């Protein structure tokens, strides 16, 4: 098998048998980056020397007869809003173009200890604000399956790196679907863990009550491997939860017979592209053949989800991005020589249009006289949406839907219509509002060869069931329907 097509387990198996070295695996992926990144533009920057040093340490461990860690020699792409000590962390923004991270994110520390090799920082929508990776301050990322189309966003670079065989796996962040939607568009697996399952320490904040770090991989089992490494409580993140982390791989092959899968009637209405609906329906029939029971459920407050999400997310973005003011780090524009002028000129030069739009709207909904009318009301609706999921998941084990209502769209198709762009996340944002886990798995392709994704949502801290159902779906050919 071609080295660049390997799964995590295959990498480990080859290393243990001595059939290939970690350095050779790393070099193959660095060569792929050299060959493909000029077209796909998945990476903002790649540090070959650091990656090769990490790989060489794995080979040294093998030569010394020591046991290999679980992700030994696995080349990973890291979304460029996750801190790696000594490397740039731009968040896809001019305001942080020359910022170098001073420490490792907790997820990075855990991956480093597990033997992973970081081949580069992946492109993203600026500060994770977007659904197409067209909002990066540096360049647009293209879909490896069809370069005239978007890879999704905001973790589009991470998804494209895996789909384009430039990394075995990747880390992304998911605030409203930013792992799952690009996974769907690029034909890979994308997992958003339960809020609190993975530490956010070292993740540059967009929406602090919504953000989660998670993996993008080629297989469901690979996603289980990575999640098992990065999950767990962290003293540096007060929102991380001290819940036991199961062995996600151990139970992944268990039967799915008897699993009850909820189908929200609010998600299967007009607006889903015909080919997406056909593929998802075929996927649901496959799960039914495997012994799953399909049950209609109600999520009655779904119609308010987009409005609720964008009030909450923009308010939190306005608060979180106030720290980028030219005083402590990042871009500084002195402007007219006054403090107010420096703030204004720095933020005007450093932030792109979408980020400015969200800061302005977020500041508005938090302002005196409008807080109760918008932000407080959105938080109340968020509680109703969370309660909808609790009631539905009391009746079923998993909820299924399309990941996105459409296949990947063309570059530039929705750039001038923010609302149309926001609606591409209609099926993913609710999981972030409710804090529940979700996974997108490939579910075939359209006639044009564009990937379609099936989304599975689960109970709080029950990623294991999502992984078991997703793995059964993959094993029975669901990825290629």
| Digitized pLDDT (tens) for each residue of the chain, 481 residues in all | 689 999 999 999 999 999 999 999 999 999 999 999 999 999 999 999 999 999 999 999 999 999 999 999 999 999 999 999 999 999 999 999 999 999 999 999 999 999 999 999 999 999 999 999 999 999 999 999 999 999 999 999 999 999 999 999 999 999 999 999 999 999 999 999 999 999 999 999 999 999 999 999 999 999 999 999 999 999 999 999 999 999 999 999 999 999 999 999 999 987 899 999 999 999 999 999 999 999 999 999 999 999 999 999 999 999 999 999 999 889 999 878 899 999 999 999 999 999 999 999 999 999 998 999 999 999 999 999 999 999 999 999 999 999 999 999 999 999 888 888 888 899 999 999 999 999 999 999 999 999 999 999 999 999 999 999 999 999 999 999 9
380 catalytic residue (yes or no): no
Catalytic residue among 32, 83, 109, 154: 154
Catalytic residue among 41, 62, 79, 110: 79
255 catalytic residue (yes or no): no
| Nearest by Cα to 154 from 187, 188, 180, 120 | 180
Instruction: Indicate the length of the chain as a whole number.
Output: 481
Residue 424: predicted pLDDT: 86
Residue 419: predicted pLDDT: 80
Contacts of 418 (CB under 8 A, 6+ apart): 354, 357
Residue 175: predicted pLDDT: 98
Q: How far apart are CA 284 and CA 101, in angstroms?
A: 44
| Nearest by Cα to 179 from 474, 456, 440, 453 | 440
| Both structure tokens of 116 | 């992973």
Q: 185, 442 in Cβ contact below 8 A? A: no
Contacts of 434 (CB under 8 A, 6+ apart): 385, 386, 388, 389, 390
Task: Name all domains of the chain by residue range, CATH numbers in brackets.
Answer: 3-230 (3.90.1300.10)
154 catalytic residue (yes or no): yes
Catalytic residue among 131, 132, 173, 178: 178
Q: How far apart are CA 93 and CA 90, in angstroms?
A: 6
Q: How far apart are CA 365 and CA 362, in angstroms?
A: 5
Residue 1: predicted pLDDT: 64
Q: How far apart are CA 240 and CA 138, in angstroms?
A: 32
């Amino acid at each position: 098998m071609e080295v660049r097509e390997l799964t995590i387990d295959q990498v480990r198996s080859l290393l243990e048998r001595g059939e290939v070295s970690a350095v050779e695996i790393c070099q193959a992926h660095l060569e792929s980056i050299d060959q493909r990144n000029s077209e796909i533009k998945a990476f903002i920057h790649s540090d070959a020397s650091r990656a090769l040093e990490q790989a060489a340490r794995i080979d040294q461990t093998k030569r010394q007869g020591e046991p290999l860690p679980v992700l030994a020699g696995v080349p990973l792409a890291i979304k460029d809003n996750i801190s790696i000590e000594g490397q740039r962390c731009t968040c896809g923004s001019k305001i942080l173009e020359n910022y170098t991270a001073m420490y490792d994110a907790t997820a990075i520390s855990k991956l480093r200890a597990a033997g992973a090799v970081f081949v580069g920082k992946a492109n993203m929508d600026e500060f994770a604000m977007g659904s197409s990776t067209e909002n990066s301050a540096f360049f647009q990322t293209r879909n490896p399956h069809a370069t005239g189309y978007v890879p999704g966003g905001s973790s589009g670079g991470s998804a494209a790196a895996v789909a384009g065989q430039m990394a075995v796996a990747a880390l992304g962040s998911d605030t409203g679907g930013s792992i799952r939607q690009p996974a769907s568009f690029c034909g890979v697996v994308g997992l958003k863990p339960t809020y609190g399952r993975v530490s956010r320490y070292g993740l540059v904040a967009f929406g602090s009550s919504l953000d989660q770090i998670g993996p993008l991989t080629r297989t469901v089992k690979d996603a289980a491997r990575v999640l098992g490494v990065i999950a767990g409580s962290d003293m540096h993140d007060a929102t991380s939860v001290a819940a036991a982390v199961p062995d996600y791989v151990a139970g992944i092959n268990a039967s799915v017979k008897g699993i009850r899968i909820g189908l929200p009637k609010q998600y299967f209405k007009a607006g889903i592209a015909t080919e997406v609906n056909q593929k998802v329906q075929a996927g649901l029939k496959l799960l039914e053949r495997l012994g799953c029971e399909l049950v209609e459920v109600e999520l009655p407050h779904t119609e308010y989800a987009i409005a609720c999400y964008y009030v909450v997310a923009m308010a939190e973005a306005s608060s979180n991005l106030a720290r980028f003011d030219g005083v402590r780090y990042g871009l500084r524009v002195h402007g007219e020589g006054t403090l107010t002028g420096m703030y204004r000129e720095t933020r005007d030069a450093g932030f792109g249009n979408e980020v400015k739009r969200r800061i302005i709207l977020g500041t508005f909904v938090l302002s005196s006289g409008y807080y109760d009318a918008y932000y407080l009301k959105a938080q109340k609706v968020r509680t109703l949406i969370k309660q909808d999921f609790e009631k539905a998941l009391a009746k079923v084990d998993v909820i299924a839907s399309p990941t996105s209502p459409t296949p990947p769209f063309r570059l530039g198709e929705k750039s001038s219509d923010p609302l149309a762009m926001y609606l591409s996340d209609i099926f993913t944002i609710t999981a972030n509002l409710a804090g529940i886990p979700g996974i997108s798995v490939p579910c075939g392709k359209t006639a044009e060869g564009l990937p379609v994704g099936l989304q599975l949502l689960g109970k709080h801290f029950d990623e294991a069931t999502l992984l078991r159902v997703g793995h059964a779906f993959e094993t029975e050919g669901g990825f290629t329907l």
